[in-house]
Copies of this chain bind each other. A is one copy, B any other.
């Protein structure tokens, strides 16, 4: 099969109109390709980092459990060679570098391929949605990441320190641990959504609602929909892993996959819950605007209701009729002032009673 690699960097669904099975990188260019090989058994452990992908060649038949991790997907031709080395199907190769690919699982005879998204906050606190492909072979796990950061710090630590059962268990347990680390991080992201909703709500209950909050809410709704799009397909994937009869998945790992399934369901439910809360925010905003308008109207009504009648009264005594008896009364002016002050106070009391201020 003569597929070839081409670096094509532009925006959107960039692999359109290409031959199917053609491997095209569509992500951001700046990530350096970096190879990391962790080999371990119950008693041994080695960790190698390199820029040279050829270091991974031949590891397909490894006897020790081996985690081959690749950061950065822009060296497409190198990655394709690596894929050839591990006998990956061209469609799998396409999914690995197509960072727009939605989460999916494919079972082949010689490996299982899982595509998913890492969600995390990077060093700068920015929200990142990183494309991740996990290939489970006989004794190895191959991971392809879009960017250099990841959520596997503690997992690496556990392997190097030999904590937990990871060193004893097989490559399938390693894959499980990788998925577990990814899903665990979803909880962090979901929590931050919860906090953001609470912050937005507090903002909305303030007296002076900012006018561009509607934009923020709409933006936020979009965020949640995107997280949802990353989370929901994982249910099916973990479920298929759970019930798969693939020989690389040992029965002992099944309990852990059940647990994983449970977690992803829980994340999904939280996303739905926060989604429903977020949808309510726009209603809250509307009531906020309406309350504000009510307040504006009250100020107007109070001012107008008090001073328009008074202006009428003073207008009366500004008339130039020749015969207006009040004008000649020596205390007329003061009496009128008294009447007007009385009206003023009555009005204030009336509006106070109505609880308008």
Contacts and interface: CB of A to CB of B under 8 A. Distances in A.
Interface of A: 1-3, 12-13, 16-22, 89, 91, 94, 101-102, 104, 106, 153-154, 158, 163-166, 176-177, 180-181, 184-185, 187-188, 191, 201, 204-205, 208, 211-212, 214-215, 218, 221-222, 225-226, 229, 255-256, 258-259, 262, 265-266, 269, 273, 276-277, 280, 282-294, 296-301, 303-305, 307-312, 314-324, 326-328, 330-333, 336, 354-356
B287 A91 contact: no
Contacts of A20: 164, 176-177, 180, 256, 259
A320 B319 contact: yes
| Copies of this chain in its oligomeric complex | 5
Q: Which of A3, A201, A205, A292 has the largest number of chain B CB atoms within 10 A? A: A292
A341 to B, nearest CB: 12
Contacts of A101: 266
A336 B293 CA distance: 33
Contacts of A164: 2-3, 19-22
A225 B276 contact: yes
Given A277-B221, A305-B300, A307-B308, A16 B214 contact: no
B284 A286 contact: no
Nearest to A164: B19
The residue in A20, A225, A266, A336 that gathers the most chain B C-beta atoms within 10 A of its C-beta is: A20
B292 A289 contact: no
19 contacts: A12-B191, A16-B188, A19-B165, A91-B256, A94-B259, A104-B262, A225-B276, A226-B273, A229-B273, A282-B284, A287-B289, A290-B293, A297-B300, A303-B305, A304-B304, A307-B312, A312-B314, A314-B316, A314-B319
Contacts of A188: 13, 16
Given A218-B201, A296-B301, A16 B185 contact: yes
Of the candidates A3, A101, A305, A312, the one having the most CB atoms from chain B within 10 angstroms of its own CB is: A312
A259 B154 contact: no
A293 B297 contact: yes
Contacts of A102: 262, 265-266, 269
A305 B314 contact: no
Nearest to A311: B312
Nearest to A225: B273
A2 B288 CA distance: 55
Contacts of A255: 89, 91, 106
A312 B315 CA distance: 9
Nearest to A205: B215
B327 A322 contact: yes
A243 to B, nearest CB: 16
Nearest to A192: B12
Closest 6 CB pairs of A and B: A19-B164, A314-B315, A317-B319, A300-B301, A13-B187, A321-B333
Contacts of A327: 320-322
Contact of A294 (B2, B218, B285, B289): B289
Contacts of A165: 1-2, 19, 21
